[in-house]
Structure 1
């Protein structure tokens, strides 16, 4: 990983960069499982192909369920080094167990990192270093952070998650257009953060709940003890969220090609990666641009993504897989409508970013990487 004892902002970026592959791998494997097994993915598969699909789907659900633990462990490691791993991982598992999900993973990782760092800095005789680091510190930090997550912090965070998803469920039906706008905006407002994951969990429940009827798999998939309120039309909210989530990375990659002078060398170099991540529905591909220029990038991303979400729901597009982007096109109902939503949202974000940067252009030295390269650096760190 990266050097320990980093500032909170970079620790969060490190955590997100390590969590992204679990979201992508878990979602794509679930999509592949649904493609192979269909409705028998958690039922009684009859053919070898269906059995393979059920196995692939189950592996994907397990990988996705590691999101909160890995996020918490990576954040804690970035803050405290190796002493943060055990309490961080434990707090992430506790967050998933109580239903706090992604938000709980973030908070648990920060808490574990701070507690482990503070304990490790307590003055003590040199001869106690080994026993303290191997036994005393992990035990104390894990007890504190895990106990707080299970008994104090986790339940309120879970309540926030349930309230948010319940409110989204109340918007379904007659408020479909508004639901599309809200889901799209939530997807882009933090580009992969807690708000984004709340929208995603709500949308994914509409796709996977018909296949996951038992409580434990549903809890693993959504990061909640009870599944969020699913939309009336399975796959409709997923279409809105997926279309919206693809827009920002694609738009920013496009903008760097249309007006390269408005972006730094590092941003231009990141464009191919952002485009690939956007095509695969990994909204976090836009984070380096947002960190470098949040006042211009985030509003533009929200504008385009909200539009994409509204168009996708308004045209009755559906997506039957919980992740994958272009890899999930096999499961899309009304493909033309879905692709139109992605194209329109991408175009609006691209135009808005270029316009904002052109009107109030920030004066930056050529080749400056600054804070926005931290995610790129953290992804390549070992």
Structure 2
């Protein structure tokens, strides 16, 4: 029997990570292979691969949208793909991995191995841009979520001005967490490119972006600048073996911070600040039909690839609008992004468990129950199982409803003070402005998408459903 080991990881470490793992496990079972999947999620590595697992494996399959350490797989067949490919076509990926090339990690020199073991040098040479971005974002999002929710709790205890000792303390903690998201973004983008030496210049660049009001774009650009500065310095600097210990603790930190920092301050910082200020002014100036149009576009983006690259771009846009707010203010853009992102899983839950049950398999109806929870939690990936099975009908349907919800949210002037939390932040006083209309916008979008997908889908063949139920009983 063939033995496969795999790793799954997505930018948030929540839904895609575990959906990909489950898809690979199901696919391996169908093929008659043995598989062990390590999930590198938001709480760290689970079901971790041991050295024995790796040695016994015929091949290694990595499905990730972030940078994964591959140093332990040297000498093994290895296939690396995006996490979404595992969700959509697990069987094909497993078969492809069995014929993959053998992974041979290269290092500049023997003395640099300790510093490079967490990153593949070749990936740091102007390729894998999306992977570096997603790695930075995966480390940034917990700071954004924690900071935003702490700020919302400060409103709950002390009103919109966070008055009182407890509210003031919560607000202070929230501000600190939110301030750290830019160093985290810059630092871990650089880390993805250049391993541990990238953290120092990347975090410094993120702090520079924060202090200079260059925002999201500044810390992102600073992270890439810092990471590639390390890559170039590694190629240029060669030391005698007796002095090689100075490279990671003195030379790389000093010169990478010096070079990337000065370039940021004197070359790219000014244009990025102007771009960030222009974006903020544009958002603040949106009214009437312009704001509704923006809501329609962002809403559609949140659903069209279910938290993929397009959805992530819309989410980052919302977060950027949130970070420029003063105490007590809310963001209508972030509100439109969040409520639209809740539509796809809730719409599929509505269709598969209530109004169109006869159009879904038993397995899909079970997934629909989970989709209720995922939707209310603002986890758009809850609709992925339905989209994978029937993308032609599902994706357009949920995109229409999400776009309508985003547009209505902007039309109603609803705003939110936090970047995540979904329906559960609705109960925190001061977290949402215009709550009743906000809920109305969500309900309308869910109803539109739910009805549309139900009308488009055809009823399931009863014979096929009976066979599926029989097969599930055997597995159970």
Q: TM-score, normalised by structure 2?
A: 0.55
Q: 1:89 aligns with which of 203, 225, 228?
A: 203
Q: Equivalent residue for 1:209?
A: 326
**Matched residues in 1 for 2:400 and 2:133: separation?**
25
Q: Which of 348-357 and 145-154 deviates more?
A: 348-357
Q: Equivalent residue for 1:337?
A: 437
Structure possessing the higher relative contact order (Cα contacts under 8 Å, 6 or more residues apart): 1
**Matched residues in 1 for 2:240 and 2:454: separation?**
59
Q: Equivalent residue for 1:62?
A: 176
**Matched residues in 2 for 1:252 and 1:118: separation?**
48
Q: How much has 1:33 moved relative to structure 2?
A: 0.8
**Matched residues in 2 for 1:110 and 1:287: separation?**
32
1:14 equivalenced with 2:135 (yes/no):
yes
Superposed CA offset, 1:214-270 (max 9, x none): xxxxxxxxxxxxxxxxxxxx5655532331243356568889998999x9xxxx99x
Q: How much has 1:198 moved relative to structure 2?
A: 3.1
Q: Equivalent residue for 2:296?
A: 181
Q: How much has 1:302 moved relative to structure 2?
A: 5.5
**Matched residues in 2 for 1:157 and 1:355: separation?**
47
Q: Equivalent residue for 2:265?
A: 150
Structure 1 or 2: larger strand share? 2
- Is the Cα–Cα contact under 8 Å of residues 247 and 346 in structure 1 kept in the other structure? yes
Structure 1 or 2: larger helix share? 1
- Is the Cα–Cα contact under 8 Å of residues 288 and 411 in structure 2 kept in the other structure? no
- Which of the two has higher C-alpha Rg? 2
**Matched residues in 2 for 1:119 and 1:77: separation?**
15
Q: How much has 1:63 moved relative to structure 2?
A: 0.7
Q: Which stretches in structure 2 are left out of the alignment for 5+ residues?
A: 1-66, 70-118, 459-476
**Matched residues in 2 for 1:24 and 1:277: separation?**
16
Aligned length: 318
- Is the Cα–Cα contact under 8 Å of residues 204 and 238 in structure 1 kept in the other structure? no
Q: 1:241 aligns with which of 315, 328, 337?
A: 337
Q: Equivalent residue for 2:424?
A: 327
- Is the Cα–Cα contact under 8 Å of residues 203 and 235 in structure 1 kept in the other structure? yes
Q: Equivalent residue for 1:196?
A: 315
Q: TM-score, normalised by structure 1?
A: 0.67
Secondary structure of the equivalent of 1:99? coil
**Matched residues in 2 for 1:178 and 1:9: separation?**
28
Query: Relative to 1, partners in 2 of residues 1:68 and 1:357: Cα closer, same or farther, differing over 3 Å?
Result: farther
Q: Equivalent residue for 2:40?
A: none
Map 1:63-78; keep pairs closer than 5 Å.
63-78=177-192
Q: Which of 306-315 and 336-345 deviates more?
A: 336-345
- Is the Cα–Cα contact under 8 Å of residues 69 and 90 in structure 1 kept in the other structure? yes
- Is the Cα–Cα contact under 8 Å of residues 102 and 194 in structure 1 kept in the other structure? no
**Matched residues in 2 for 1:69 and 1:188: separation?**
29
RMSD of the alignment, in Å?
4.2
- Is the Cα–Cα contact under 8 Å of residues 148 and 417 in structure 2 kept in the other structure? no
